[in-house]
Structure 1
């Protein structure tokens, strides 16, 4: 809401959908103010200082249209960016990668820290308000604190939420510094509450360390702490009720993810547990859920049991897709833009940056990719048959 509705705000929206960053906007405002000293009427001069530069920038942000480059042909506005910052992982989860691991990219093929920060700045300047760092396992990256700090500084320029998805193994000792650097959302991947089953699914040890990381995140008062659990029939589907029980006293969200097909994870439909089946099983044990209000772009159908501190959610990509409200884009560790998690189409932003492509040209390349995004992904049987990356090379 304008404090002084009669004041004029210079129109700083560039043509062709290009959004000015805040430093450019401030410079333009300053220039406009200098020009107005010589061209405005006395009454206009009296009004020229009724906004501070920051108030003018905020007003421009609130009123300019969403980036054309990040809007697809179905009018979906993509304000959520997931950036995979490493292909390396200290676990070998069965649904994420083959037992033998994956062929890692050469280091010179991966995005540098400066390239990641450049892309983060560009996407935020175009309207992205949420960034999530994924992998691989983000915490194995040596400069993870500095990287989070660099992206966290974009909260001065329109970024609202900075999150990370982690397996929690090496997270605990780094978490306080990550929070101080600007991270306010944490998703922890945990598919079992049984130590032996954990070692079978992940092919590694470390179950206790994951739980310690979850509790530390809660102790630090992080605004959003979630556990992501991929439910696989015959493996961990009998543990659903144990995860639900966690939400009785802990103010976190447990999200059950339908098992999805990716290269090397040996997906088949018999292993899929549809979310409606999970709900029936939970309600038979705990009583009726209360439905939570979902945000328009939520991937999760959220519920709560009466009197419980936390929530339960279901990510239903296979049995009830949410493509119509998708607002997410992904950048892989080697710098490719994926407009759909399940789509094989990719565009290399890395190659364009290394060819001295400027930000305006990058926006046009991104815009062309976004405009090619399909209305929805293929059905689960088609997905199982088509070629795509293993999940670890996409970014969880």
Structure 2
């Protein structure tokens, strides 16, 4: 469920789709402030301090005219934000009455120190949304940040008063809190306090401008950890789900594409993030001309609020995860080429942006090698799963959601291609599933036969087409002999009494393997796993790719893939081709020939 937001600026999908220019106008009405916040965006002078500037401030009539222009451009709400404390503005009530007369919503950003019971009742009657302030439950920390001793006590009192009057009940109250080193550890507590009292948590990173110094800026890694933690708290405790991609916790970052701001001197900006970069003055040009100017549009596209503020970090994290997945201690073969790397990184970044596990779809054998003395998955399979778990553990050290791996034994394929009896593939899949269940949900076993059945109509249609197209020239392809040699290890039957018969069966199996693989891809039987990265244990022979109409349309995309070692480097790269044997903590992968040698050694 989407988290609630401040009622006046909780725009609908229809608002976003219908608005060409603006949804919100922010206006500054006063320069002075009764606090000295160390993070103040505008470096507002304290009440009574002499201001050396000689610029002419906008009159009330000019402010009203600007609001009318914004109304005609489609705004839904006017936010009164400062640049000092709006409650110091002598015409505040008249301005709010005017805004309401235009059938527009009002948000008042205030530190709350001057809120009286009478004023709160009046604001409530006018259906005004309020943004008040609290940076810490610790008076010493809070008062240091806002530059006024005793402020925290007043903040708490005013917050309670607003809740009692009913502002929080219908989502017309937000609590503004900046994130810095001093209050970092208690942000989750502040967040929970807001949620439990129906207050919108307006928790945000510091914008480095005005009085805010660069040293107040926290590393993006710390911000990312915090936002993901808040996202998890919201989901587990309150049932709200959101992507941590906005500088304001839980906010819809699309909102900032439809904001304009006018300061007390008539300068127009995109948002608070750009207060040093005005696009012009409202006294010289119309609001329409200013917000449709090339400069405004450029600022809108660059503004940190309206894009994923973790994008760069997501990209860097994706690169780190990719390095783990392709580390030589896990990787089989050479590093993937750049085009495959790009596809894999895109999948990883997509999951990171949603704070979800990175998914792999792991191709797996459908049965134990028929020439080995068991039909069960055993130590070799377990060692291979342990190796995949090691990869996931490495990823989880830098990305807590880690991996989710779907293991797909090709039981249905080997039944048809290699003529392996169903009871043998059934035993293998069952025992593989039992082993996989030991890993606390990291693995899910998805038998190929299940996908054949689920998409049987599509699969049978494409199987017939593939057979018709491939059987004509398959034996003439130069790589076919290599594929047939590989298939020789997996042929099964009681009629393999001669080398000639074995070769015949091997070629038939290789041909059918190509036909089945092409049909699987053309029928898109793996479509449920389109958000996965494919993974293999051997560098698959891309022989069948020439028969697939469009690789780009396979689901998941066929060339978005990685190749891993099994539990041991060496000649045996497929766990179903070997028997496992314990040697202390290590599993030895014994192929058919090595198994015979081992048995002979034991006999001797």
Tell me the TM-score range normalised by the shorter chain.
Answer: 0.5 to 0.7
Give the CA deviation at 1:341. 3.1
Contact 1:323 1:377 in 2 (8 A): no
Match of 1:305 in 2: none
Deviates more, 1:129-138 or 1:264-273: 264-273
Tell me, yes or no, if structure 1 residue 82 matches structure 2 residue 29: no
| Higher relative contact order (Cα pairs below 8 Å, separated by 6+ residues) | 1
Give the 5 Å matches for 1:303-318: none
TM-score by length of 1: 0.60
Rounded Cα–Cα distance in structure 1 between residues aligned with 2:101 and 2:106: 10
Aligned residue for 1:133? 80
The corresponding residue for 1:376 is: 302
Q: Which runs of 5+ in 2 are unaligned?
A: 1-13, 310-604
Counterpart of 2:278 (choices 315, 321, 346) is: 346
Secondary structure, counterpart of 2:288 in structure 1: helix
State the match for 2:132 in structure 1.
188
Which of 144, 156, 160 is equivalent to 1:200?
A: 144
Secondary structure at the residue paired with 2:214? Answer: coil
Q: How many residues align?
A: 279
Shift of the alpha carbon at 1:362? Answer: 4.8
- Partners of 2:63 and 2:231 in 1: CA distance: 44
**Counterpart-to-counterpart distance in 2, 1:282 and 1:220:** 28
Q: Which moved more, 1:240-249 or 1:326-335?
A: 240-249
Q: Does 1:217 align with 2:162?
A: yes
The 1:105/1:338 distance shift into structure 2, 3 A limit, reads: farther
Secondary structure of the 1:329 match is: strand
Q: Does 1:331 align with 2:262?
A: yes
Contact 1:79/1:128, CA 8 A, preserved across alignment: yes
Name the CA shift for 1:238/1:272 in 2 (closer, same or farther; >3 Å): same
Indicate conservation of the 8 Å contact 2:260/2:291, yes or no: no
Q: Matched residue of 1:150: which SS?
A: helix
The correspondence of residues 92-171 of structure 1 with structure 2, limited to 5 A, is: 92-96=36-40, 104=51, 109-135=56-82, 136-155=84-103, 159=104, 161-171=105-115
Q: CA deviation at 1:246?
A: 1.2
Structure 1 residue 374 displacement after superposition: 4.6
Deviation at 1:236, TM superposition (A): 0.9
> 1:103–1:80: structure 2 CA closer, same or farther, 3 Å change rule?
farther
2:45 and 2:128 map into 1 onto residues whose CA distance is 34
* Offset, 1:100: 7.9
Measure, in 1, the Cα distance between the counterparts of 2:248 and 2:216: 21
Following TM superposition, by how much is the alpha carbon of 1:166 offset from its aligned partner in structure 2, in angstroms? 0.8
Query: Paired residue for 2:186?
Result: 239
CA distance in structure 1 between the partners assigned to 2:259 and 2:44 by the alignment: 29
Corresponding residue for residue 278 of structure 1? 226
SS of the equivalent of 1:247 reads: helix
Post-superposition offset of 1:262: 0.8
Shift of 1:377: 3.2
Report the CA distance between 1:88 and its aligned residue.
1.0
Name the structure with the higher helix share. 2
Greater Rg by CA: 2
Give the structure 2 partner of residue 57 of structure 1: none
Q: Which residue of 1 aligns with 2:215?
A: 268
Shift of 1:91: 0.4
Larger mean Cα displacement after TM superposition, 90-99 or 103-112: 103-112
Unaligned runs of 5+ in 1: 1-61, 72-76, 303-312, 316-321, 381-396
User: What SS does the corresponding residue of 1:211 show, helix, strand or coil?
Assistant: helix
Separation of aligned partners in 2, 1:290 and 1:150: 38
- Name the SS of the counterpart of 1:85 in structure 2: strand
- Post-superposition shift, 1:301? 4.6
1 CA distance for matches of 2:73 and 2:235?
A: 45
| Separation in 1, partners of 2:54, 2:175 | 31
SS in 1 for 2:99: helix
Change (3 A) 1:195 1:109: same
Residue 175 of structure 1 aligns with which residue? 120
